[in-house]
Amino acid sequence: MEVKNICCIGAGYVGGPTMSVIAQQCPHITVTIVDINAERIAAWNDSDLSRLPVYEPGLAEVVAEARGRNLFFSTDVDGAIAGADMVFISVNTPTKTYGKGKGMAADLKYIELCARQIAAAATSDKIIVEKSTLPVRTAEALKSILHNTGNGVSFHILSNPEFLAEGTAIQDLHRPDRVLIGGENAEAVQALVDIYATWVPRERVLTTNLWSSELSKLTANAFLAQRVSSINAISELCERTGANVDEVARAIGTDSRIGPKFLKASVGFGGSCFQKDILNLVYIARSYGLEEVAHYWEQVISMNDHQKQRFADNIVQTLYNTVSGKKIAFLGWAFKKDTNDTRESAAIYVADALLNEEANIIVYDPKVSAEQVYADLDYLGTRAPKENRRLVSVVDDPYDAAERAHAIAVLTEWDEFRDYDWQRIKDHMMKPAFVFDGRKLLADNRLADLGFTYYAIGE
């Protein structure tokens, strides 16, 4: 089965970068990424590459190389499906906000809509690839929809979860630790293996059955998030005992069975997936009556909520038990560095807790717009949008954020924060000048030497 035309439904943080890299690496395949969001497609087609809807180091270069050659962005979903041999589904699968499983299960309505649209638009046989993160056994539902169309077209379903991390998406796609492909039909699996094998060493392309592939994605995210919650749990103990969490992380990380990665204590993990995928795993376990399994994974989220809350609590307590009317400067709003994505960012929840105490917050983030900051706070629904705008301002100069601030909170580990003129910042702050470092970014005594009162997670 030779694939000449690929369609990807969903031009988001996953669909955009993954398909751009496939197009870059496989000039013999035409890749069309479609989305119902016309504004997003227009941004992907913008001649000014700094306006692509996703910020990722190296992405603009990949798009520049392939766009218009064999990479296309379009709103013509039906047309792209009809012309494709292989259709990737890369739409969002957020946590349900209504009905059964509300707040836990993945909302599969966008996935089902895609399946129905594929069924309606297809006039020839196709391989359908699940790229979105899905509950185990979703392929069964897809099969049921696709195999009952009565139009004589046959479909093979594959699971090919994506493991890229934002901020390093292009490097992760160019040199993945592994690519995972689950499927029942050997020819269809081989067709997708052949695409990746163009640039990924063959031994890194793993093939499994459908259900193992679907479940491995949720499991990988659960394990990764669990490491962050585990080191964050230890960070609190460090703060009480005089141990230093970075030293503990180094000491345990040199054990090759534990490994050094993903042991950075923080104000809490964010991002669109860790929480959503663990909630989904918990929901699935519970739906099979596996209460202990569900309860075990639930703790990873409880610990993360605790970490965000105690970071905010520490700010209030340290500032003499009141932040009402005080100016707190936030350095960073994105959920990690090198991305403009703010979904589930710890900053949102820390801000919300401080706003409940009537703090004034001034946000600076190198890649996040004021609009986005307000949208994130409004989405919580804790207070009226007008109140969020009264209490929060967003600036495009970090020194303006620090001006007459009672405290600075570091919420994202952007590299540039290290290089600021911290003496200048301190000179313009209220005294004592407090810094609460939720990323241990500045934990090298430098700030204490300059006369800041400095608190870092896990010290």
Q: Which residues are catalytic?
A: 273
**DSSP 3-state assignment of 181?**
strand
CA–CA separation, 454 and 443 (whole Å): 9
Rounded Cα gap, residues 409 and 370, in angstroms? 18
Query: Cβ 60 to ligand UGA, closest distance in Å?
Result: 19
Do the annotations mark residue 220 as ligand-binding? yes
> Cβ distance 195 to 29 under 8 Å?
yes
Q: Which x/- pattern over 276-315 shows residues binding ligand UGA (rule: CB under 6 A)? A: ----------------------------------------
- Does residue 14 bind ligand NAD (CB under 6 A)? yes
Distance from C-alpha of 107 to C-alpha of 95, rounded to nearest angstrom: 6
- Using CB under 6 A, which of 92, 93, 213, 221 touches ligand UGA? 221
Answer for which of 77, 179, 319, 408 binds ligand NAD (CB under 6 A) is 77
Biggest alpha carbon–alpha carbon distance for the chain: 75
- Establish whether 12 is an annotated binding residue: yes
Q: Is 44 in the site for ligand UGA (CB under 6 A)?
A: no
Of 320, 318, 322, 305, whose CA–CA distance to 270 is shortest?
A: 305
Q: Is 264 annotated as a binding residue?
A: yes
* CB within 8 Å of 251: residues ≥ 6 apart: none
Report the b/e string of 420-440 with b at 16+ CB within 10 A.
Answer: eebeebbeebeeebbbbbbbb
Q: Given the complex with ligand UGA, which of 183 and 270 has the nearer CB atom?
A: 270
Using omega within 30 degrees of 0 as the cis cutoff, is the peptide bond preceding 27 cis? no
Given ligand UGA, ligand NAD, none, residue 336, with its beta carbon under 5 to 8 Å by kind, binds ligand UGA
The residue count for binding ligand NAD (CB under 6 A) is: 27
CB 80 within 8 A of CB 74: yes
Three-state DSSP class for residue 420: coil
User: Residue 93 binds which entry of ligand NAD, ligand UGA, none, with Cβ cut-offs from 5 to 8 Å by kind?
Assistant: ligand NAD
Return the residue of 35, 56, 130, 166 that touches ligand UGA, per CB under 6 A. Answer: 166
Lay out the site mask for ligand NAD across 91-110 (x = CB under 6 A, - = otherwise): xxx----------------x
Is the Cβ of residue 319 or residue 332 nearer to ligand UGA in the bound state? Answer: 332
Radius of gyration of the chain (CA): 23
Query: Which one of ligand UGA, ligand NAD, none is in contact with 10 (Cβ closer than 5 to 8 A by kind)?
Result: ligand NAD
Cα distance between residue 116 and residue 132, in whole Å: 16
Over the window 333 to 352, marking each residue x when it contacts ligand UGA by CB under 6 A and - when it does not, the resulting string is --xx----------------
Count of other CB atoms within 10 angstroms of residue 450: 15
Q: Which of residues 262-301 bind ligand NAD (CB under 6 A)?
A: 272-273
Interacting stretch for ligand NAD, rule CB under 6 A, among 159-167, 235-243, 250-258, 282-290? Answer: 159-167
Q: Do β-strands 205-208 and 392-394 pair in parallel, antiparallel, or remain unpaired?
A: unpaired
Calpha distance 178→340 (Å, rounded): 26
Distances in Å between the Cα of 307 and the Cα atoms of 66, 231, 265 are 43, 11, 10
- Residue 332 assigned as binding residue: no
- CB 269 to ligand UGA: min, Å: 3
Question: Based on CB atoms, which residue is closest to ligand NAD, 278 or 401?
Answer: 278
- Among 6, 7, 8, 10, the residue binding ligand NAD under the rule CB under 6 A is 10
Contacted by 228, from ligand NAD, ligand UGA, none: CB < 5 to 8 Å by type: ligand UGA
How is residue 47 annotated by DSSP?
Answer: S
Query: Is 296 assigned to a binding site?
Result: no
- The rounded distance, in Å, linking the Cα atoms of 242 and 314 is 17
SS3 content of the chain, % helix, strand, coil (to 5): 45, 15, 40
- Is position 225 an interface residue for ligand NAD (rule: CB under 6 A)? no
State both tokens at 362.
């001034």
* Residue 266 contacts ligand UGA per CB under 6 A: yes
Q: Could you tell me the two tokens for 108? A: 């599969």
With contact defined as beta carbons under 8 Å apart, do 63 and 52 qualify?
yes
3-class DSSP state of 38: helix
293 annotated ligand-binding residue: no
271 binds ligand UGA (CB under 6 A): yes
What is the identity of the amino acid at 224? L
Nearer to ligand NAD by C-beta: 95 or 266? 95
Count CA atoms within 13 Å of residue 436 on its CB side.
23
From ligand NAD, ligand UGA, none, interface partner of 269 (C-beta below 5 to 8 A by class): ligand UGA
Indicate which of ligand UGA, ligand NAD, none lies near residue 311 (CB less than 5 to 8 Å, by partner kind).
none
Residue nearest to ligand NAD (CB): 12
Which positions touch ligand UGA (CB under 6 A)? 133, 162-166, 221, 224, 228, 262-264, 266, 269-271, 273-274, 335-336
> Residue ranges for the binding site for substrate?
162-166, 217-221, 257, 264-270, 335-336, 439
